Amino acid sequence: MVKRRFILVLAVLLLGIVLLAGCGDKQEEGQAVIKMGTNVEFLNRDDGIPGLEKAYGFKFDRDALTTMKTGLTYDALRNNKLDVAMGFATDGRIAAFDLVSLEDDKNYFPVYNPAPTIRKEILDEYPELADVINKLPPVLDQKTLTNLNKEVDVDGKDPEEVAQKFLKEKGLLPDEPELKQGPAITVASKIFTEQLILGHMLIDLLKAHGYPVEDRTSLGGTPALRKALESGQIDACWEYTGTVLMTVMKEDEITQSDEAYQKVKKWDAEANNIIWLDYAPANNTYTLLMTRKKAEKLGIKTISDLASYINGEENK
């Protein structure tokens, strides 16, 4: 009797091992859980993970999804703590850490071109100011802004130092500024690297042309800057077309740069007396990142490839 019970227990244990091995095989076949890293905003916003999953027809396992500060996702990928992570297309760590951006082959992510925004009252006070500032956006293409971000995030340089050096190299700082008489222009920025660089560029450019300036860089996130700009607590800041379009105007995403720019420019001028100056060619949109080694191993080049892998379709 004891022997029969022992044999029964052994059989059950062996069956359990076989079943577990079967689960493991399924994971090897492409149904393994992908470890995804994201910041909280991208996890919840409509143009983030919810919309991405819907557009591409897959779903990240929430038990394997880690929320963290944006800057930490790059290090986590490099150290193989994540398989995939969200990032920003102009981040200098992408190339420096040998990461790859998965192609958005369904053209899902909206455009986020940066542009200086300024209160109309300030432009009325200084009519020539728009021409001064508009010399800056055209020289900020994708490669340039990515390299500037790298100088701070990878090389450890100070954002203000990087901004001033760039302006000098581009010949945008006059030798002898003509001092302007009038109210100080309060320039603010958000708290991440690119915004700090852009904010200091605008401050240094204005100071070099003789304008009185107050520095309010690192003021806060989008809601804080937007409230301050609309209320007149600040006068100017760099903003992204897609950010205002979707988080402020509550409009659907737009994937064409000029279309998005014209829409936010018209709306802000009419509704808030906020003027959008020229936008930069750089597009700091969201992107999904993997290490080059991991992406090549799994044969993933596009977000559709990732969706197929997660759905277990890559071998079908």
Q: How confident is the model at residue 234 (pLDDT cuts 50, 70, 90)?
A: very high
The whole-number pLDDT of residue 46 equals 74
Instruction: Quote the CA–CA distance of 52 and 111 in Å, as a whole number.
Output: 15
SS3 string of 57-68? CCCCCHHHEEEC
- pLDDT at residue 11 tops 80: no
163-189 average pLDDT score = 94
Q: Are 234 and 225 in contact (CB under 8 A)?
A: yes
146-154 average pLDDT score = 95
pLDDT digits (tens, 9 = 90+) for 71-121: 899 999 999 999 999 999 999 999 899 999 999 999 999 999 999 999 999
- pLDDT at residue 45 tops 90: no
Average pLDDT, the chain: 90
- pLDDT at residue 279 tops 80: yes
- For the chain, give the percent of residues with pLDDT over 90: 82
Instruction: Quote the CA–CA distance of 316 and 312 in Å, as a whole number.
Output: 8
Q: Enumerate domains of the chain plus CATH numbers.
A: 31-109+285-310 (3.40.190.120), 114-276 (3.10.105.10)
- For the chain, give the percent of residues with pLDDT over 70: 89
pLDDT digits (tens, 9 = 90+) for 198-217: 999 999 999 999 999 999 99
Q: Are 157 and 297 in contact (CB under 8 A)?
A: no
- pLDDT at residue 1 tops 90: no
Closest of 214, 221, 168 to residue 190, by C-alpha: 221
